[in-house]
Amino acid sequence: MTQLHKAGRTVPGEPRHQPLLRLLAAWPEASSCLVVFVLLLFTLHLSPFTLRVRADAPRPQPRVVSQTVGNDELLYAVADPGQIACLSHLSRDSSFSAIAGAAAAFPSLQKNATAETILSYEPTLVIFNDYSRTELVEQVRRAGVRVIVITKYYTLDDAFDNLRMIARELGPRAEARAEAIIADGLRRVAALRETLKGAKPVRVIAPSTYGLIPGSQSTFQDLCDYAGAENLAFTLGRLKGHQAPPSEKMLTWPIDKAVLVGADKNAALAPFKKLPPYQYMSAIREGRVVLLEPWQISCVSHLRIDAYERLARELHSARFPLMNNGK
């Protein structure tokens, strides 16, 4: 029997790997190949354990970047603070954001932020809207980061769906917060509906200095649907979304109130007293207007319920005797 065969024999009672060690000592020329072979066996032996450890390891903390102001409000409502990597460039602007004060505690994107800027916050998720720049969305997606694109936001049901969608990405605590917010929102809407039962809709328009006016499929139409108002741009003008106002026809509309934004009635009215066709309307000339906070007229999150209540109180103050009008 050769020395090599003797080295490879198994001795009763010795560990199973001992013959391999003797074989290495007896055949130095084959040591490098056998070392690789032994390491491979060792790796294969441990691989189930390694895989099991990886499977049981906790998921990394979500880090979310919101690219638009409506998504800021949704994200802030359900996320743990540590899950918010960055908010939009409008997040701290009270003209657009309902959470401007709270947003100061978080980083915010610059206007027209690039994919490189967004990725610098090391997000695991970026939330866009369907009006976000297509190339920006694709650049972030190609970088391997999960992307959500919100495509429906005109109605309260849309807002609730979006709240749930974001919460699912963040975990059970966020989902519980979303359901609590939705339950409270439904309760408030039901109470508002009961308060306005039988009220005659107030005929309104929402003029702007941008040369557009909201009709159906707009956040303003959603406001009207809940606040006891008739949006004449929809019912008489047959406008959809935001379109140029039919100037001559509008002069014949029976407008009860114009819905403007701001804290001061005279300041809100001032630009429209010089802007056709509004300057010729009796509602503008006589100051028959109601005021919302600037962010409320275009809110796409669940916080639009604040706007429902505010507009309803402004238009139907007699139905809210215990509340100060406009508060």
Q: Give the Cα separation of 239 and 212 in Å (integer).
A: 10
Q: What is the dihedral of CA 312, 315, 318, 323, to 10 degrees?
A: 50
Tokens representing residue 269 in the block = 């009215």
Q: Give the Cα separation of 211 and 276 in Å (integer).
A: 10
Tokens representing residue 116 in the block = 């490189």
List the pLDDT tens digit at each of the 327 positions of the chain: 444 444 445 455 555 555 544 544 554 554 454 444 444 444 444 444 444 444 455 667 899 999 999 999 999 999 999 999 999 999 999 999 999 999 999 999 999 999 999 999 999 999 999 999 999 999 999 999 999 999 999 999 999 999 999 999 999 999 999 999 999 999 999 999 999 999 999 999 999 999 999 999 999 999 999 999 999 999 999 999 999 999 999 999 999 999 999 999 999 999 999 999 999 999 999 999 999 999 999 999 999 999 999 999 999 999 998 654 444
The CATH number of 64-192 is 3.40.50.1980
Q: Give the Cα separation of 289 and 312 in Å (integer).
A: 13
Tokens representing residue 78 in the block = 């359900």
Residue 220: its H or E element: helix 219-227
Spatial contact of 199 and 228, defined as CB atoms under 8 Å apart: yes
Name which of 189, 187, 174, 169 is nearest 77 in CA terms. 174
- Alpha-carbon Rg of the chain, whole angstroms? 32
Straight-line distance from the first to the last Cα atom of the chain, in angstroms, rounded to the nearest whole number: 102
238's torsion region: left (phi>0), alpha (psi -120 to 50) or beta?
Answer: left
Name which of 131, 159, 179 is nearest 304 in CA terms. 159
pLDDT digits 0-9 by tens, 251-297: 999 999 999 999 999 999 999 999 999 999 999 999 999 999 999 99
CATH 3.40.50.1980 range(s) for the chain read 64-192, 200-319
The CATH number of 200-319 is 3.40.50.1980
Tokens representing residue 109 in the block = 């994107």
pLDDT digits 0-9 by tens, 7-16: 445 455 555 5
Q: Give the Cα separation of 214 and 235 in Å (integer).
A: 11
Angle between helices 304-315 and 172-195 (to 10 degrees): 10
